[in-house]
Structure 1
Amino acid sequence: MAYEVVPLGDFSKEFGSTTELSSVSIGGQVVHVSDEFFAEAYQLLLVEPPVSLAKQYGPNGELYSGWETRRHNPTYDWCTIKLGTTGIITGFDIDTTHFNGNEAPEASVDAAYEFPNEGTTWKGILPKVRLGPSRRHLYKIPATGQATYVRLRIYPDGGIARFRVYGHVVPVIPANPVEPFDLAHIFTGGKVVATSDDHFGSSSNLLLPGRGKDMGDGWETKRSHTKDHHDWVTIKLGAPGYLSTAVIDTIHFKGNFPESCDIRGINSQDTAPDANGDDWNIILSPVKLGPHRMRFFRLGSPYEQYTHVKISIYPDGGIKRIRIIGTMTAKYEADMTEITTQTDEQHQTTPIIVEEGWEVIED
């Protein structure tokens, strides 16, 4: 079990291209825990950094933003976490912020692919490492096999503020190449590779499942005061595809939505193509956006294959989610008619995928 200690200043270099597989924002959850007497384990996976709750007390003692167990454990405490999606794990952030004198002295991590039970064989992926008080501890490991569950063990007991598992999503892509799906979604391997501004909200939020809970889990740029300003984000699709539909969702952005947007596509071998290059094709001409709503747009060039899309917003503002619907194989209208009439006897030139819980609001 080799590992490398990563200085905090190298976080972006080592983990900037990874996904936080354990985050509640993509469905990470605690499924088993040995003890959470002083502070509940679900807080390990929260998106927001831990805050100080010094001198605030509950029925069991002082409050902490994190997980804290009883004292005097003769062996170790543990917490089993289901990752938001199956992934390849490459590192961890074990954060003891605000735990000083009651932090867990040591920790280790195991992984499993199937739902854990008494017969589960756990594979150690991070050996027992020393932890210090009130600080983040970053560890890089060789890429694992596919994992869906991890077990954090602390020796012998104590507190951990946040636990973040970094790695790469194992894409979930339809076996049928003409089945439409969201090529930009985080679970299909979509990834934000460049952006102009992430001042109020990270552009990576655009690809998360669901519609979120507030403006904080969308993408929002700072206000601009220069003429002809625009912001943009470049998304690498989970697979090269033929694109049919874009879904732009501005839910919760009621007074700070963009005035308009457009979308460009490119077929490139580069991870992050030059955002200002001349090879981008317009696939959605500028369209007006509105507050707190979801809109569907038919994309141009349906028989051109693209690997990346670039969404530009004018002049600035916030968007909650972007979906880019397409297929991995282009089908002419006659072929598509035959397929759709066989399934539902209705011709659909632009199949739409809507996530459970979405409310479709039309103009």
Structure 2
Amino acid sequence: MCTESSLDFLNFNELASKKNGGKILFATDDWFAEAENLLKDNEPLWKEGIYTSFGKWMDGWETRRKRIPGHDWAIISLKHPCVIKGFCIDTAYFTGNYAPKISIQAAKLDESYDKLFPLRHGKAGTAASSDVMDQVNNLQTDEWTTIIPMSNLGAGYAETRKNYFNCPYDDAWTHLRLNIYPDGGIARIRVYGSIICANNVPDIYEKIDLISRDNGGVCVKYSNAHYGHPRNLIIRENSNSMADGWETARRLDRPPILNVDHRGILQIPGNEWAIFRLGNIGLISTIILDTTHFKGNCPDNATIKGILIPPNQQDQHLDTNEDWKSILPVTKLYPHKSHVYNLNEMNWCGPVSHIKIIINPDGGLSRLRIWGYIHP
């Protein structure tokens, strides 16, 4: 287990939550609360004094106190093949009833594998029958690769609820087996990493969103994510609200009185930025900067830069690298609008492996699209 301050993987895409396509295929026991709660998009909730006919209402997965041999476990199906960089196991509000230990196993399987599991109902007060257990045991999920060995969890208090684990494997996985020892509760599981493009040999003549997380794009560094992480910018689906975008805090070095130049661009020294690694080296044809939902807090202007880094070179020093080239010059932005820029408005189109977006002075964007072609 590791501490949050030392974790680079938290910048990566979240892969298992409900909105990101994760799905519970099986759980041994759902007595107090069903395993589907593990994948909820929202933060865990506490409802004081609320009980169901099965016991205290809990916002997570909680099994009964085990009185038979074995331990409890659940199977999670990911939407895409993914390289996993790390996990957060959150035990929020499970204080005297949290699972004391976990391990995680993984496998890369065909999409049809999900159909081998019995139909999942996911209701509190239930457990897998002996017939269902026999059916699932025949799938031999206990023989999947162990990517997180048996490890201790902290209780669900504010200072101990979030348990972080680095994943040391570079393989692609599609399914996870979450083991809890021997029983108890977990509020959420968050899985961080990058999606492996479904098309392993991309068509160089097909125009794609080079930065989309579904095509392997990932955020590797950023300056500020006070209200929303920049990884939200590269979600394929359009945003639903300001909560579903990248939004920074207001910079404290803003001048007391603001001025603009002859183009209407604010003259402010500070800015915020985010760096993304593309799924494939690409040539850019269209850029879309979308401020939808950001009506009183969109940035004044934005700049896009690019760089070509060899595949074997690390991302650590990209924020100080002096080889960035201007792709889209300083451009005025407007609230609640999709801004589209084509080749004739760009300084350079690549080939590029990384994109840096700079917003001035601060604020929020809902989506960033970098349309183009795979570099041959």
TM range (shorter): 0.7 to 0.9
Residue 23 of structure 1: CA displacement? 3.0
Question: Using a 3 Å threshold, how does the CA distance of structure 1 residues 136 and 178 change in structure 2: closer, same or farther?
Answer: same
2-structure distance, mates of 1:146, 1:277: 30
Q: Tell me the residue number matched to 2:155.
A: 133
Q: Is the 8 A contact 2:247 2:364 kept in 1?
A: yes
Indicate if the aligned counterparts of 1:54 and 1:62 stay in contact, CA closer than 8 A: no
Give a deviation string over 1:156-208, Cα, whole Å, max 9, x none.
33211122234443234553112111111112221222222212111121112
Which residue pairs with 2:331 in the alignment? 287
Distance 1:73 1:289 in 2: 61
Q: Supply the RMSD in Å over aligned alpha carbons.
A: 2.7
Partners of 1:25 and 1:208 within 8 A in 2: no
Q: TM-score with structure 2 length normalisation?
A: 0.76
For 1:142 and 1:234, the matched residues in 2 are separated by: 23
Aligned partner of 1:86 among 76, 81, 84 = 81
- Give the 5 Å matches for 1:1-363: 6-9=1-4, 11-12=6-7, 15-16=9-10, 18-74=12-68, 75-114=70-109, 115-116=113-114, 117=116, 118=136, 119-122=138-141, 123-125=144-146, 126-134=148-156, 135-143=161-169, 145-173=171-199, 175-224=202-251, 225-226=254-255, 228=268, 229-269=270-310, 271=315, 274-275=318-319, 278-299=322-343, 300=346, 304-329=350-375
Change in 2 beyond 3 A, CA 1:149/1:204: same
- Assess if the C-alpha contact under 8 Å between 2:89 and 2:190 holds in 1: yes
What is the CA–CA distance in structure 1 between the aligned matches of 2:335 and 2:281, rounded to whole Å?
31
Count of aligned pairs between the two proteins: 324
Deviation at 1:257, TM superposition (A): 1.5
Counterpart secondary structure, 2:7:
helix
Cα distance change of structure 1 residues 216 and 157 upon mapping to structure 2, 3 Å threshold:
same
C-alpha displacement at 1:100, in angstroms? Answer: 1.9
Show the counterpart of 2:126. none
How far the C-alpha of 1:302 sits from its partner, in A, is: 6.1
CA offset at residue 72 of structure 1? 3.4
Is the contact made by 2:213 and 2:235 (CA closer than 8 Å) also made in structure 1? yes
Q: 1 or 2 for the larger relative contact order (CA 8 Å, sep ≥6)? A: 2
Q: 2: CA distance between counterparts of 1:79 and 1:327? A: 40
Compute the displacement of 1:312 (Å).
1.9
* Residue of structure 2 in register with 1:360 after alignment: none
Report the counterpart of residue 264 of structure 2 in structure 1.
Answer: none
State how far apart, in whole Å, the 2-side matches of 1:325 and 1:108 are: 40
User: Which AA in structure 1 matches 2:334?
Assistant: G
Distance 1:107-1:264 versus aligned 2 partners, 3 A rule:
closer
The 1:221–1:177 alpha-carbon spacing in structure 2 relative to 1, beyond 3 Å, is same
Counterpart amino acid of residue 137 in structure 1:
N
- Following TM superposition, by how much is the alpha carbon of 1:319 offset from its aligned partner in structure 2, in angstroms? 0.5
* % same residue: 36
Instruction: Give me the whole-angstrom Cα distance separating, in 1, the residues matched to 2:186 and 2:52.
Output: 18
Change (3 A) 1:64 1:196: same
What residue ranges of structure 1 are gaps of 5+ in the alignment?
1-5, 331-363
Contact between 2:12 and 2:220, CA under 8 Å: does it hold in 1?
no
Q: Aligned partners of 2:87 and 2:233: how far apart in 1? A: 23
Instruction: Tell me the secondary structure at the aligned position of residue 240 of structure 2.
Output: coil
Q: CA deviation at 1:318?
A: 0.6
**Deviations, residues 51-107 of structure 1 (Å, cap 9, x unaligned):** 433433344332222111233352333322112421133443322232122222333
Helix, strand or coil at the partner of 1:243: strand
TM-score, normalised with respect to structure 1: 0.78
- How far residue 298 of structure 1 moved from its aligned partner, in angstroms, is 0.8
- 2:2–2:166: 8 Å Cα contact kept in structure 1? no
- How far apart are residue 276 of structure 1 and its match? 6.2
Does the CA contact (< 8 Å) of 2:271 and 2:359 recur in 1?
A: yes
Alignment check: 8 A CA contact 1:260 1:288 kept: yes
| Separation of aligned partners in 2, 1:25 and 1:90 | 19
C-alpha distance in structure 2 between counterparts of 1:195 and 1:203, whole Å:
7
Structure 2 alignment gaps of length 5 or more: 117-135, 256-266
Secondary structure in 2 aligned to 1:246?
strand
Moved more, 229-238 or 44-53: 44-53
Closer, same or farther: CA 167–265 of 1 in aligned 2, 3 Å: closer
